[in-house]
Amino acid sequence: MKYDIKEEGNFRYIESEGKGEHLLLLHGLFGALSNFQGIIDHFSKDYKVLVPLLPIFELPIRKVSVGGLVDHVADFVEMKGCENVNVLGNSLGGHISLLYVLAHPDKVNSVILTGSSGLFESAMGSTFPKRGNYEYMKQKAEDTFYDPKVATKELVDEIFDIVNDRNKAIRIVATAKSAVRHNLSDKLHQIKVPTLLIWGREDTVTPAFVGEKFNELIEGSKLVFVEKCGHAPMMEKPKEFNSILEEFLVSVTAKSNQE
């Protein structure tokens, strides 16, 4: 299903027509809306799914940081008038989700992390990405998944175009460095909302032990591993991912209704 990108003020986003609770999806550093297609299609009927395009390449250079992106998300949620949001983030989007929850716990109903940064990540590193080397970028993209075929030519082309745009590449590096500085190990105990961790067992960017550490540090969190799966379970194993997520969201709603 094709979703139109809406523009409102400084925000560009996708919004489903569902009438239920808000499900806010936050993409990663090289994320695209296509990364969440399976989630949007599955949940758009029963949830109002919101997917803001994070302004990684649009923020003023002095504001290029994880904190600047968290502020953007906070302003977006405020603009949409959302309450009791279920926040889901992949990779950098998970990191932003955590920082948003820590800053605005009253706005959040639950948080779902998949391959989240915030404790440890091993992706492009903190140096300038290799430009002009398509095969290198293709290999990096394929390494993100357990099944390299998930890294379609369209996906590789998109990443290649980003790193070969000097302005975008500089912002990628600045954002990645900011993420490393924002280590959350000493803050995760403050998260009290229901938390689900969906992790690819073969994730090489944020390996399985990272999911286990999040599970240890976030009290009451639930960790589910997806077998034969890499850094983006919602792309590589969409049916299994959606089943795990749906069960969690239903249980969170049921618990809320009892209270």
Which two structure tokens, joined as six digits, stand for 151?
A: 């890294």
Residue 20: band (very low, low, confident or very high) from pLDDT cuts 50, 70, 90:
confident
Structurally, how many domains does the chain consist of?
1
For the chain, give the percent of residues with pLDDT over 90: 66
In a domain, 191, yes or no: yes
Write the DSSP string, 118-157: SS---SSTTSPPPPS-HHHHHHHHHHTSSSGGGS-HHHHH
> Residue 162: its pLDDT value, please?
87
Q: Note the pTM of the prediction, 2 decimals.
A: 0.92
> Residue 140: its pLDDT value, please?
86
Residue 126 has pLDDT above 70, yes or no: no
In a domain, 158, yes or no: no
Please state, in angstroms and rounded to a whole number, the distance separating the CA atoms of residues 238 and 215. Answer: 22
Report the CATH number at residue 247. 3.40.50.1820
Helices (H) and strands (E) in the chain, counts: 9, 8
In a domain, 156, yes or no: no
54: Cα separation from own chain's centroid: 10
Residue-range definition of the domain harbouring residue 201: 6-119+183-258
| Three-class DSSP category at 4 | coil
In a domain, 109, yes or no: yes
Which two structure tokens, joined as six digits, stand for 150?
A: 């998930």
Alpha-carbon dihedral sign for residues 247, 253, 258, 259? positive
Strand order in the sheet with 22-26: 6-8, 11-15, 48-52, 22-26, 85-90, 108-114, 195-200, 222-226
Mean pLDDT of the chain: 90
- Residue 27 has a CB neighbour count (10 Å cut-off) of 23
> Residue 218: its pLDDT value, please?
98
> Residue 129: its pLDDT value, please?
53
Biggest alpha carbon distance in the chain? Answer: 56
Among 184, 205, 176, 206, CA closest to 56: 176
